[in-house]
Chains A and B, each alone.
Chain A
């Protein structure tokens, strides 16, 4: 450990450079965003690559399959063609066999957009150093996030168990619901993509809820207040909005188109 613990100022000489203060010379923020926020942006960009890979796979596989060309009312589940989404996702919790096309997924979308709003409100409260407002809006965000997760659990359960009628498969047996190798709705890959895409998104929501709960505990303990800023809420907020953003795309490409 012969190294000096402090840097010695270089001996003054006529040839020494003036201190460099340019944008990329260190010591300042070229993008006017802190290190943490910048890295969160880059992480989200890499996460966008993963989700884009999923959606690209979905688009390619879907276009590889036949499209049902008849009237929507004549549509029946068949492994030949890609299912029409509002015939698959038409159940609503507590409404039995009522036909509510896309009703539940509309509610889930609203819940997730609302959770994004309460997240921005938490960030805004953080800017004002208003600890109790931050706590309040974080709790709302955790509530909406958890509600979304429970809704997705219900959606999965319904998708896996299927309808009473089921679909007669090629071997003559009637199959209800879906798993990774056989499903009543259409081509095998339809169910696989449903599980992988909504599952990967749900995992993100779950991680987000965990981070928010940690944030709430840290806020309550006054960690951020002592630090003098609530930037951690902003960083986790960026992640949370990204998860909402991904849902907007999943919603369009899986349920609407």
Chain B
């Protein structure tokens, strides 16, 4: 402890031991999910199923980053909902406009047929 205590510190208490096992566990999960994504990139032909797998795995990664690293999982219910509800609306917007994009594309490609 004394090795890395500098002189001007006003803090007098002992520095506690680091508690980092959970951080490395979350890191392992994130790296694992990314590795699985690469397995799917090279072993599966592009399809709606493959894209759905990617999106589900991305949401898993987001869950661990926001829940553990950003600590949201351990905040009050009120704060969790304050963040999640607007984001849910954004996902609605995303799905709606992607559907709209497919429709516009279909119309444009068939316009002169």
Contact = CB atoms under 8 A, between A and B. Distances in A.
Identify whether the interface residues of A are mostly helix, strand, loop, or mixed: helix
Interface stretch (A26-34, A154-162, A177-185): A26-34
Interface string B3-16: 01010111101011
B98 A59 contact: yes
A132 B7 CA distance: 12
A58 to B, nearest CB: 9
A49 B91 CA distance: 10
Interface in B61-92: 61-62, 65-66, 69-70, 75-76, 78-79, 82-83, 86-87, 90
Contacts of A203: none
Nearest to B91: A52
A249 interface: yes
Interface residues of A, number: 60
A225 B9 contact: yes
Given A32-B76, A132-B4, A113 B54 contact: no
B105 A63 contact: yes
Interface stretch (A143-151, A165-173, A206-214, A239-247): A239-247
B101 A62 contact: yes
Contacts of A252: 37, 54-55, 57-58
B63 to A, nearest CB: 10
Interface stretch (A1-9, A12-20, A119-127, A193-201): A119-127
Interface in A42-74: 45, 48-49, 52, 55-57, 59-66, 72
Identify whether the interface residues of B are mostly helix, strand, loop, or mixed: helix
A56 B27 contact: no
Most buried by A among B4, B62, B69: B69
A123 to B, nearest CB: 9
A238 B79 CA distance: 14
Given A72-B45, A244-B65, A256-B37, A45 B98 contact: no
B110 to A, nearest CB: 11
A72 B42 CA distance: 11
A129 B5 CA distance: 11
Contacts of B55: 252, 257
A225 B10 contact: yes
Contacts of B102: 63-64
Given A32-B76, A244-B65, A60 B9 contact: no
Interface of A: 30-33, 38, 41, 45, 48-49, 52, 55-57, 59-66, 72, 84, 86, 101-102, 106, 109-110, 113-114, 116-117, 119-121, 124-125, 128-133, 222, 225-226, 228, 237-238, 241-242, 244-245, 248-249, 251-252, 256-257
| Minimum-distance CB pairs A-B, first 4 | A63-B101, A60-B101, A132-B4, A64-B105
26 contacts: A30-B76, A33-B76, A38-B79, A59-B94, A60-B97, A61-B101, A62-B101, A64-B108, A66-B105, A72-B45, A113-B34, A116-B65, A128-B16, A130-B4, A130-B15, A130-B16, A131-B4, A131-B6, A132-B6, A133-B4, A222-B8, A238-B70, A244-B69, A245-B66, A251-B58, A256-B37
